[in-house]
Structure formats: C-alpha cells, structure tokens
C-alpha cells in the first residue's frame, strides 16, 4: 500500500486537464445537500480566490479513511490563506446517496472541519466531470475556478502543496 501511495504521489496532478473554464465552472445549477441540511450550489465553493480541493469519498472506503487526516491537516493549514477543501460524501461500496448520520459521525471522529456535501455516485456527471472512476477521487480548481487536476486514488497534504507550488511557479512565468 505504501508503494502504491508513493507511485500515486509521483504522478498526481502531473497531467493538467485541458477543460474549458466554462465547462469546469458549469456548476451554478448543481445543488448538493450539506451536512447542515441546507442545499448548497457547488459554484459557491469554486473560483473564490483560493485553490479548491474537491474530494469525493465514502465513510467505509479504506483509502478514503486513510487520506482524510491529510486532507484535514491541509485544510487547517491553508483555509485562512490560499486553499480550502470541500468533501463530497457518497455511500461506499454501493455508490448510493450518502447517509447523513454516518457522515456526521465520521466527521466528528476524524475532526473534519471543512464543508461536507452529500451525494451519490452520479455526482461527477451532475458536475460535468464525467463518470466517477473510483473512490477516493480528488479534483483541483485554481483560485480563478479552472479545473486543473484530477486524482483517482489516495492523496496527501504534501502532494497538494507541491502541486500548488509547481503550478503557481509555472504560471507565474507565463
């Protein structure tokens, strides 16, 4: 498992997605229920001047459970400056709609303080991102709201920070 994570670390976000900004941000009409019971437009989280890490996960998904502490640490380190994390929970292994009580209990156990939304395995299609290929899946949006990265499989705080630094440096020269 550690070797797999190291391999994923090496390749994560090395492929920049060439998705037009209009399709990447075509989320104004997509509403997702939050753990607060309210409906939230996905667009309220994207393109707000900070990097946005969108992590799709399940409470009973082993690799999801493994990566959550890093996502919490990343969010806590960056939320007041340059980046935020948004979690979208779905049921695992059924890919049905997430069970709110399970997500709330999980969030409490793992001290998750980033926004959590509830959906099902069709969430990526609703968001214009194609078919969900597996859990966990992480998408990276620039501060301007452009989708620039996707990772199917585990993620770490270090990978996210390296990607932001590399992307920012590369595009600062442009």
CATH number, residue 64: 3.40.30.10
Nearest to 54 by CA among 35, 74, 81, 29: 74
Q: pLDDT tens digits for the chain (174 residues)?
A: 554 444 444 444 433 333 333 344 445 689 999 999 999 999 999 999 999 999 999 999 999 999 999 999 999 999 999 999 999 999 999 999 999 999 999 999 999 999 999 999 999 999 999 999 999 999 999 999 999 999 999 999 999 999 999 999 998 876
67 is in which domain, residue-wise?
A: 2-172
Number of domains in the chain: 1
CB 73 within 8 A of CB 26: no
In the chain, which residue ranges form alpha helices assigned H by DSSP? 2-11, 21-24, 62-78, 100-109, 123-126, 157-172
* Alpha carbons 3 and 123: distance in angstroms, whole number: 30
Distances (CA, A) of 41 to 32, 82, 151: 6, 21, 23
- CB-side neighbour CA atoms (13 Å) of 101: 0
* Alpha carbons 109 and 145: distance in angstroms, whole number: 31
Q: What is the pTM of this model?
A: 0.86
| 2-20 pLDDT tens trace | 544 444 444 444 333 333 3
Contacts of 71 (CB under 8 A, 6+ apart): 53, 55, 85, 87, 112, 114, 155, 157
């Amino acid at each position: 498992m550690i070797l797999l994570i190291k391999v994923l670390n090496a390749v994560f976000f090395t492929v920049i997605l060439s998705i037009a900004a209009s399709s990447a941000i075509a989320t104004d009409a997509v509403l997702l229920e939050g753990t607060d019971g309210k409906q939230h437009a996905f667009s309220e989280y994207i393109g707000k001047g900070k990097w946005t890490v969108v992590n799709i996960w399940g409470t009973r998904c082993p690799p999801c459970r493994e990566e959550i502490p890093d996502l919490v640490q990343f969010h806590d380190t960056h939320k007041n400056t340059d980046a935020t994390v948004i979690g979208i929970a779905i049921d695992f292994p059924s890919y049905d709609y997430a069970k709110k009580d399970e997500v709330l209990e999980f969030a409490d156990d793992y001290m998750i303080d980033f926004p959590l939304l509830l959906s099902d395995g069709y969430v990526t299609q609703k968001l214009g991102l194609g078919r969900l290929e597996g859990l966990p899946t992480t998408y990276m949006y620039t501060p301007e709201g452009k989708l620039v990265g996707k990772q199917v499989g585990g993620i770490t705080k270090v990978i996210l920070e390296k990607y932001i630094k590399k992307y920012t440096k590369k595009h600062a020269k442009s």
